[in-house]
Amino acid sequence: MRPGAAEGDELRRLRARLRLLSVVFLLAFASVGMRLVDLERRYGGEERAAGSGLEEQRGPTGAWRRDLRDRNGRLVATSVPGLALAVDPSRLPDRRQAARALARVLSGVEEAELRKRFRAGKRFAWVKRRLSPAEQRAVQELGLPGLLFLPAARRVYPQRSLLAHLLGGVDVDGRGLAGVEFALDRTLTDPRSEEALRLAVDVRVQQLLREELLAAYRRFRAKGACGLVLDVRSGELLALASLPDFDPNRFAEATPEQRRNRCTGSVYELGSLFKVITAAAALGSGRVDLADRFDATQPLRIGRNRIDDDHAKRRWLSVPEILAFSSNIGIVQMSFAAGAEVQRRYLERLGLRDPLRVELAAREQPLWPREWKDIVLATVAFGHGIAVTPLHFARAVAALVGDGRLRRATLVKGGGGVLRDLELPPQLIRDLRFLLWLTVERGTGQRARVPGYLVGGKTGTADKPLPGGRGYRSGEVVSSFVGLFPIEDPRYLVLVLLDEPQGTEATFGFRYGGWTAAPAVGRVIARAGPLLGVPPSTPRARRALLARLQVYPVVNGRTGRREEGFAALRPGG
C-alpha cells in the first residue's frame, strides 16, 4: 500500500472519532439543558405552602433589587447575596430520615412539613429559602444526595425600624409588600438600572422625628401616632413615621396594627386643624374680612344640634381671635358667611377629595359628606363629618401658607411637582401666616414656640366617631398639631397626631392638641431647623408680625375678668 493511502485512512478514522465525540458532547449538553428546563418549570409550578413559614412561591428566589439611599446618600435598603436550599426528593434514599436530619440542623424548619414536601414522584421541593453560613455547613455535613444550593438575594434594612412604614418590606422572593418597596417595585427590580434610588427622606430628620413622636406616644399612652416633615417648597417628605412600628428585616412577624401607616393609610376627623382651611375659604371668598367680628356670646343652635366652644369666651370675637382661641362658634359663622359652595370648592381644590399619589402602598381615600346640609357645613368647618389622611391635610396647608400651589407629596428626591395653582391672592397668604403665628404666639399653640424661629400653627382635638356614623365615642379623641417654620417664609411643615392620648398630671388631665401634640412639634422644629440649615428668624420679621397685631382690653363674658383681645391691622396700618 502506498504511504499516502495509509495516511488518508488514518485521517478519516480521526475525523470519524471527532464526529462521534461531538455527538456525545451534544447529547450530554442537551441532557443538562433539559434538566435545567425541567427544574425551571418546577420552580414556577410550586404552590404556596400555607402557614408553614417555608413558602413555596412562584418565581426566582430572592430577586435582586436596587439599593435605596436617603437624600444625603446614606444607605437605607440593600440586597446581599445568600443561599437557598432545595432538594430533589426522588434522589433521597429515605425521605423520612432526610426530613428529620434537615429539621434538626435548620432553624424554623419542621420535620412534618418537610415530609409533606418530599412526597413520592416529586423532583423539586424547597427546604429553606434563606440559609446562614453555619446552616450551610451543617447541611453539607449531612452528606445527603439531591441537595440544591441556589443563589438567593436577601433584602437588608440597616436602619431597622427607623424607616419602617416609609420603606415597607419584601417577601421571601424579594417582591415588594408595603411602603416604597411595593409602590416602586418595578423601578427597583428593573435590570436596566443598577444605580441606587435616592429618596427624599433625611435619616437625621427621621431619627429626631421618631424620637419625639415615640416620647409623646409613650408619655400620653396613645393607641397610635403619626408624624411627618414636609418641604413646603418641593413637596418632598423629609420624614414620615407611624407608631407602633416594626422591623422591616422581620416584616412577616409584624402584626396588622404595626404595619398600619397612620400618616397615609388611615383617615381621621381632624377637628380644629380644619379651621385653617375654613378661614382661608371665608377670607378668600371676599365675604369675610380680617377685621370682622362674630357673636360668640352664646352657643349656636342648628336644628336640634348645639355647637359650643371648649374654651368659651362668651363675647364677640375677631377673626384672629377665632383662630387663636379655636372658636367653633366663630368659625361656623365664618363658614356660613362664605357659603357651602365656597367651602366645598376650597376643599376640592386643595386635593382633599382626591386619592394620594405618594409612593406608598397604604393610601386611604378621604371620606366626604353625602350632602351639604347646614349642620354638615357647620361641623366640617371645625373638622368633623369629613375624614382625610394626615398627609392630605399637610399638603393642603403647605399650599395655603406656602406659595399658593398644591404640590404632589413625594418620597423620591426630585419627584414632586405642582398639581395645580390655587391662584390665591398674595395678601390672603400673608394673612393666613399671621393668623397661624398668632395662634402660636398668643393662642392655643403656645407650647409649640421655639427660641430662634417664628412658628405658625394650629391645634386640633377631635372626638372619634362611632362606626356607621352613629355619633361619637365618649372620651376618645384624636389630638394633633400642624406647625410651619419660619412662618414669615415657610420652608418646612411638621405635623404630629396622637390617636387616643391620655391626659397626665403635667397636662392637668387635658388631652387637647395644644397640650399633647404641640410640644412635640416644637421640639422637632428646634432640633431639625439648625440641622437643615434654616437660619433663625430675624428681629425684622418679628417686628413686621407684631406691627400687625392690635391688642386691646376686653371682658371675658364667662369669667367676668379682663383679658387681652386681638385684632389684625393691615400691613403698614
How far is 301 from 19, CA to CA, in rounded Å? Answer: 102
Q: Which has the closest alpha carbon to 234: 461, 91, 402? A: 402
The angle at the Cα of 178, spanning 175 to 179, to the nearest 5 degrees, equals 115
Cell representation of residue 96: 423520612
Active site residue: 79, 272, 318, 537, which one? 272
C-alpha cell at 500: 387616643
Clarify whether 272 is annotated catalytic. yes
Residue 15 host element (H or E): helix 3-45
| Nearest alpha carbon to residue 415 among 565, 236, 228 | 236
Decide: helix, strand or coil at residue 216: helix
Ramachandran bin of 347, using left for φ above 0, alpha for ψ from -120 to 50, beta for the remaining angles = alpha
Q: Alpha-carbon distance 12 to 432, whole Å?
A: 98
Q: Output the nine-digit C-alpha cell for 157.
A: 434594612
The Cβ of residue 453 has, within 10 Å, a number of other Cβ atoms equal to: 21
Sign of the torsion formed by the C-alpha atoms of 33, 36, 40 and 41: positive
The residues, ordered by sequence, that sit 6+ positions from 155 with a Cβ below 8 Å of its Cβ are 65, 77, 78, 79, 169, 170, 174, 181, 248
Give one DSSP letter per residue of 346-372, joined into a string. HHHHTTTTSPP-SS-S--PPPB--SS-
| C-alpha distances in Å from residue 238, one per residue of 175, 226, 319, 424, 486 | 25, 14, 33, 26, 16
Residues taking part in catalysis: 272
